[in-house]
Amino acid sequence: MPFEYFIGGRYLKSRQKQGFISFISVLSMAGVTVGVMALIIVIAVMSGAESFFKSKILGVEPHIVVRQQGERFENYREIIDTISSEIDVRSVAPFMEAQVMLRSARGMSGAMLRGLDPDYEGTEIMGLPGEKLEEKLVAGREGEDGYRVPGIVIGKNLASRLGVREGDKIYLISQRGILSPAGHMPAMSRFAVTGIFASGFHEYDSSLAYIHLAAAQDLLKTGDAVSGLGIKINDIYRADAISDQIQETLGFRYWALDWMELNRNFFQALKLEKEVMFIILTLIILVAAFNIASTLIMLVMSKTKDIAILKAMGATDASIRKIFVFKGMIIGVIGTGLGTVLGIGGSLLLKHYKFIELPGDVYYFTSLPVQLEFLDIATIVGAAMSICFLATLYPAHKASRLHPVEALRYG
């Protein structure tokens, strides 16, 4: 072992007058541990939230949406054939979208209505494939008057608000009605609740309702027009490039937006929160680094004679620097290592045991989502080690600049 490392290790041990210095070293180590642990747990929760939102949004929304500017989107079948020939496009399906009112025997609520056509590949609701979806939306239930009521699938929170369950009847009311001698009459149609889905995302569960595309067109009086096309692709992280390619193919009359652009503000806010939390919690490690620097400065002052003797025996300035850098880095390495272990352990406990429960109507999830990512952990460990290393440079430099004769005379 090089003598610099041997001496640096000896300086870590408590010896008579240096007991107080060793105590400060322990506090510095504890500060680094707490800072690294807090950073790993918080960043894991932020990464888990981002992953949660991505999975829920992509479980409901298409990867790319194509709409027509300012006109009724009636030639959608031709556009589907054009888009389907694009590389990496898995499926294309039309949809109808509008704000409606839902009324049941027990309540009334606004909802976002979506009309889907199960005949198109890629049409699904929360993993419910097209063939089963067709049974839900088309079959419905036969009423007492012999009329076959079409089906509707709604979110569980919306069903709770309306006080309905599967088999119950509800009415859809749209502002796109008809003109009568009494004035404008809203359109109203009767549906049977054939399915209740739970996405785990409160916003979707409390506002979405699905019916067949033909029923939506009839209710909204749009003829054979649709609101847009939903596109599923193979690689969701190439959505921006593929949407640009589709936009170029279709021309200026149409516009294509990918899921990242549709939710840009939301994900930018998440990214900003993650960066701000990283900066704030890094301050804990920075405070611990100041303690490391003060510990080394006091150690240099108390070891003036030792440094003078070492230099008189032939130790170079670089060797003296190594001694104190090594001592400071031992504190940083142990603190970072303990913090990493505790942070990963705490994150895994939060992931498998739901210690914290959150109200779903206030937050988007009912328990803290946790996702450990190697890059995040490596960044935190690298940042902690860099801060600790920088904290050792000034004390180590001052120690190496001590003149042996002056140190022995006044030390």
Q: Is 226 left (phi over 0), alpha (psi -120 to 50) or beta?
A: beta
CA 13/CA 25 separation, integer angstroms: 10
The answer to the question of residue 344 being in a domain is yes
Q: State residue 36's pLDDT score.
A: 92
Are residues 132 and 224 located together in one domain of the fold? yes
Where a domain ends, among 252, 287, 309?
252
Domain hosting 222: range is 72-252
Q: State residue 393's pLDDT score.
A: 87
Q: How do the pLDDT tens digits run along the chain, 411 residues long?
A: 576 666 666 666 655 455 555 677 788 888 889 989 999 999 998 888 888 888 777 777 888 888 888 767 888 888 888 888 877 888 888 888 888 889 888 888 888 898 888 887 666 665 555 556 667 777 554 555 555 688 888 888 888 888 888 888 888 888 765 555 554 556 788 888 888 888 777 778 888 899 888 888 888 888 888 888 888 888 888 888 888 888 888 888 888 888 888 888 878 888 888 888 888 888 888 888 888 888 778 777 777 777 777 777 777 778 888 888 888 888 888 899 999 999 999 999 988 887 777 776 666 666 788 889 899 899 999 999 998 898 888 888 887 777 776 666 655
Are residues 128 and 206 located together in one domain of the fold? yes
Q: Which one, of 176, 97, 189, lies nearest residue 150 by Cα?
A: 189
Are residues 86 and 225 located together in one domain of the fold? yes
Are residues 121 and 226 located together in one domain of the fold? yes
The answer to the question of residue 167 being in a domain is yes
Query: Cα 191–193–197 angle (5° rounding)?
Result: 135
Q: State residue 25's pLDDT score.
A: 76
Residue 357 in tokens? 């429960």
Residue 392 in tokens? 């050792």
CA 354/CA 366 separation, integer angstroms: 9
The answer to the question of residue 64 being in a domain is no
The answer to the question of residue 65 being in a domain is no
The answer to the question of residue 99 being in a domain is yes
The residue with tokens 């140190």 is 407
Are residues 159 and 230 located together in one domain of the fold? yes
The answer to the question of residue 238 being in a domain is yes
Please answer whether residues 243 and 262 qualify as being in contact, where contact means their C-beta atoms are separated by less than 8 angstroms.
Answer: no
For residue 402, how many other CB atoms are within 10 A of its CB? 19
DSSP for 86-127 reads: STTEEEEEEEEEEEEEEE-SS-EEEEEEEEE-TTSTT--BTT
Query: Cα 105–215–151 angle (5° rounding)?
Result: 50
- Torsion angles phi and psi, residue 360, rounded to 5: -65, -25
Helices marked H in 163-238: 202-205, 213-220
Contacts of 214 (CB under 8 A, 6+ apart): 115, 117
Distance of CA 102 to the CA centre of its chain: 32
Helices marked H in 206-263: 213-220, 239-250, 259-262
Are residues 115 and 164 located together in one domain of the fold? yes
The answer to the question of residue 261 being in a domain is no
Where a domain ends, among 194, 220, 252?
252
CA 94/CA 225 separation, integer angstroms: 9
Are residues 127 and 162 located together in one domain of the fold? yes
CA 23/CA 19 separation, integer angstroms: 6
Q: Are strands 108-116 and 141-142 parallel, antiparallel or unpaired?
A: unpaired
Are residues 195 and 304 located together in one domain of the fold? no
CA 146/CA 324 separation, integer angstroms: 90
Structure letter (DSSP) for residue 138: I
Contacts of 223 (CB under 8 A, 6+ apart): 72, 74, 217
User: Where do the DSSP E strands lie in 344-402?
Assistant: none
Q: State residue 378's pLDDT score.
A: 92
Are residues 51 and 176 located together in one domain of the fold? no
CA 143/CA 246 separation, integer angstroms: 45
For residue 192, how many other CB atoms are within 10 A of its CB? 21
The residue with tokens 């969701």 is 236
Report the predicted TM-score, pTM, of the whole model to 2 decimal places: 0.73
Where a domain ends, among 223, 252, 281?
252
Q: State residue 250's pLDDT score.
A: 85
The answer to the question of residue 258 being in a domain is no
Instruction: Check the CA dihedral 291-295-300-302 and report its sign.
Output: positive
Q: Which one, of 328, 345, 410, lies nearest residue 11 by Cα?
A: 328
Are residues 80 and 13 located together in one domain of the fold? no
Q: State residue 142's pLDDT score.
A: 52
Contacts of 37 (CB under 8 A, 6+ apart): 338, 339, 340, 342, 343, 346
Are residues 80 and 51 located together in one domain of the fold? no
Number of domains the chain contains: 2
Are residues 211 and 299 located together in one domain of the fold? no
